[in-house]
Amino acid sequence: MTNPVPMTEIWRGSRPESVHLGHAVICDEKGAIVEAWGNPSEVVLPRSSAKMLQALPLITSGAAQAHGLGPEQLALSCASHDGGESHTSRVRRWLGDLELGDDAFRCGAHMPWDKAAHKRLLCSDTAPCQVHNNCSGKHAGFLTLNRHLRGGPDYVEIDHPVQKAVLEAFEELTDESSPYYGIDGCSAPNHAASLHGMARAMAWFASASETGGMVENAAVRLWQAMVAHPDLVAGEGRACTELMRACSEPVALKTGAEAFFVAILPRRKLGVALKIADGGTRGAECAVASILVRLGVLDPAHPSALKYRNAPIVNWRGMETGMIKPASALD
């Protein structure tokens, strides 16, 4: 990565012990850069932060309407959920409505991040299903779109009609031709864009109108679903969920693996995208919380803000030994 700047500092004693470098961009409704740190042209894989873009064809194709999807399913289609009962029960019901089973997924299985669900599987000596995958909501959306498009079962293949629709939406909203793609943890293609392109796409979501046509209406439905159901987007104790609840106005937040984060601020018609170069999640969570404070939508004294920025580091004896804080450029 070229020219990243300090974004989050880890202090121990009287000076920084570690520093997370990264890039961030804030865009307005015209796609112009309002403020930036590091290199706005840095080409990145947005990972799960791209889920709103990947979910757009689910609505614009007519699939969501044909299958009667509501805000909960739309929130799950954008989610990286914990695999808790509130998530898996809804995804299972969604699959049932499609008359499909867990084997229709192509996301793979992993143990749920939700502690209660994790413990329940361990204690019963039960293996996780694909529905426990944090991306199962996105994949339920892919399966719904696939049913509508009458595609084949391997909907994660790059040349499948589902993924062609995703790429078309991705390139249209980032206003860029994606230079390459990688395969995400859930086996779906993840398309690259510049950081500016991702911030531009988030600003487009933020400025979309319910009366602006089919595509804009779809965008509004997605961010409104996320704001209405922050618990489904991530889970209790997770940054996306806690910070969305803490903001003083509607803000849709979405994390991505390897320390990516995006934010949609509809009342201000602003979009945010950031990437921490070393992939450290704690750096990204501190940085995005600090940008939300900087933009005036998050009270720095709110408990959820304090959890991620200016947060004390405590050792095994309960002694405060340091702090996670924004670098001076963000503070």
Residue 186's domain is classified under what CATH number? 3.40.710
Amino acid at the residue 275: K
pLDDT score for 144:
98
* pTM (two decimals): 0.96
Give how many domains the chain has, as a whole number: 1
How far apart are alpha carbons 270 and 80 in whole angstroms? 23
Amino acid at the residue 129: C
How far apart are alpha carbons 89 and 95 in whole angstroms? 10
pLDDT by residue for the chain (331 residues), tens digit each?
689 999 999 999 889 999 999 999 999 999 999 999 999 999 999 999 999 999 999 999 999 999 999 999 999 999 999 999 999 999 999 999 999 999 999 999 999 999 999 999 999 999 999 999 999 999 999 999 999 999 999 999 999 999 999 999 999 999 999 999 999 999 999 999 999 999 999 999 999 998 889 999 999 999 999 999 999 999 999 999 999 999 999 999 999 999 999 999 999 999 999 999 999 999 999 999 999 999 999 999 999 999 999 999 999 999 999 999 999 999 8
Buried b (16+ CB within 10 A) or exposed e, 143-178: bbbbbbbebeeebbbeebbbbebbbebbbebbebeb
pLDDT score for 212:
87
Domain-embedded: residue 189: yes
Domain-embedded: residue 252: yes
C-alpha dist (Å) from residue 250 to 31, 78, 130, 134, 306: 20, 16, 32, 24, 19
- Which class for 242: exposed (0-12), middle (13-18), buried (19 or more C-beta within 10 A)? buried
| Phi-psi category of residue 83: left, alpha or beta, with phi > 0 → left and psi -120 to 50 → alpha | left
How far apart are alpha carbons 285 and 266 in whole angstroms? 21
Find the domain containing 131 and state its range. 5-326
pLDDT score for 13:
87
pLDDT score for 219:
98
C-alpha dist (Å) from residue 35 to 66, 242, 326: 41, 25, 16
pLDDT score for 12:
94
C-alpha dist (Å) from residue 159 to 65, 152, 199: 25, 11, 27
Confirm if 313 and 321 have CB atoms less than 8 A apart.
yes
pLDDT score for 204:
98
Sign of the dihedral through C-alpha 62, 64, 70, 71: negative
Measure the CA dihedral 39/45/48/50, to 10°: 80
Polymer length of the chain: 331
Domain-embedded: residue 331: no
Q: Which structure tokens are listed for 90?
A: 């809804």
